[in-house]
Structure formats: C-alpha cells, structure tokens
A and B are shown apart, each in its own frame.
Chain A
Amino acid sequence: MCDDGADAAPGGKMIEQRQSDMRPDIRRRPDPSLDEARLRQQALGVKLRQIFDEVVNEPVPDAFLDILKRADARQGEED
C-alpha cells in the first residue's frame, strides 16, 4: 500500500524518494476496466429495477382486492 514509506529509511534512496513524493492518489493510472466494471454494474442495476418495476406497474388483479374485501366481511361478522 504505502511503498513510499518503506523506501524512506535507506539514505541512498532519498532522491528517488523525492521524485515519488507525489501523493499516491495523484498517480492515477487510467484503468478502463474499472470504469467498465462500474458501468456494467449500473447497467445491471437498471435492468434489475426494470424487471421488478414491470410487475409493480401491472394492474393489480381483482383477486388481491377481493382478499381484503373478504377480510372486511369476515370482520363484519365478528363484530
């Protein structure tokens, strides 16, 4: 991880050390595969939600509402 620190102790390496003094987060090697992976994951997420939402957006079959209506009726009898 921080290989800079490991090289700091031997004196002969000071110059090299200076040169690599740039912050580690600056040496960003462009890694297209990482971006690709992220984009692919996003694409997967969008599709997953679409599959789920397709069902969510379907009209609710009457049978479902009947269940709750019957529950009401049952309750009415109990009262």
Chain B
Amino acid sequence: MPGPSQTPDAAREKAFKTELTALIPQLRAFARTLTGNAAAADDLAQDTLLKAWDAREAYQMGTNMKAWTFMILRNHFYSEKRRSWRNVQLDQEAAERSLMAVDDPLSPLALDELRLGLAMLPAEQREALILVGAGGFAYEEAAEICACAVGTVKSRVSRARKALQAILESGNYQRDGAPASEAMGAILGDAVRLGGLR
C-alpha cells in the first residue's frame, strides 16, 4: 500500500496511467474509423498508447487528455505513410455485399453501408466528422487536434455530412429503385429506435 511515502511523481504517473487506460476504448474507436481496418487500427492505437506514455512528462495533468491522445494518434497516422494502415484497400466485394444487404434497417449490415461511405470520404473530412459527430469534441477542440482553423473543421464536417447523405441515398436508390423517401424512412426508423435506446 503506497502511503505518504509515495513521491508526487509516482502519484502523478499513477493518475496519468489510470486516465490513459480509461481512454483506450476511445483511441481504438478513433483508430478504427481512421483506418477502416481492425488490425491496423489496433496497431495504430497501441503505438499511440506507447507514445503517450513516453510523452507523459509533456502532458499537463488536468487538461484534456482525450484531445491530447487523439492528436498523437492522428499525427502518427499521417506521419507513418508507409505503414500498413495507410495502405488498407477498400474491400470492394465486401462493400458491394453490404450495399446489397441493407434492406433490413435492424441488420448490422445497414451500418456497413455507412462504414463504406466513411471509407469513401477524403481523410480530412472523415476525421473531422468523427471527432465532432461521434467523438464528442467541440469544433474548437477538433480544430486543435487537426491543427487547422475552426472554420475549416466546420466546413469539412458539413461537406462530409452532405457526401455521406448522398452516398447513403444513392446506395438505397440503386438497391431497389424505391423512392428516396422510402429509403429515408428506414434510416429514420433506425434512428428513432436507436435514439430510444440511448
């Protein structure tokens, strides 16, 4: 039992580690959406964990560790151009399969359509949308993570949303030729159902 003899440094490191550990699921999720590939994502997230640990002296306790680690992850993703996660190709066959299989909005495959849409977005739009739309960051925080202006993040998010809507709609349209409004009804039904669960 570490009593009062514990040095302030040791206590700080312990707190740092606890906070960092709690962020692992978020880091994995961010990496997954950036790479679109589970194995590559875990590689990236593990590298991030190590980098964050090695840089712990530079972190100011009490500031936003989530944003700090997301920034490390993102920078690592873009700097390591030769690494596998940069070369993950979209699996065209799987993509088409998932486009065929979205009839049932309750099916997990309905989400694959959105995953596919995400994968088709330019990386900068994808990351902006994920940070703001799923990661729970404010535009200002996302701007800091992406090292760009707040207005840039806003426009990237907006373009990403439009592009995804278009992709989702055309996917639904191609599938069965049903009017877009019907396809949308399915999406909305899904949303209402999920909304009830949250």
Residues of chain A having any CB pair with chain B under 8 Å:
36, 39-58, 60-61, 63-65, 67-68, 71-72, 75
Contact = CB atoms under 8 A, between A and B. Distances in A.
Contacts, number: 100
A64 B49 contact: yes
A47 B191 contact: yes
Interface stretch (B26-34, B75-83, B91-99): B26-34
A77 B188 CA distance: 56
Interface of B: 13, 17, 20-21, 24-26, 28-30, 32-33, 41-42, 45-46, 49-50, 53, 111, 114-115, 118, 129-130, 133-135, 161, 164-165, 168, 184, 187-188, 190-191, 194-195, 198
A40 B184 contact: yes
A56 B114 contact: no
State the main secondary structure of chain A at its contact with B.
helix
B136 to A, nearest CB: 9
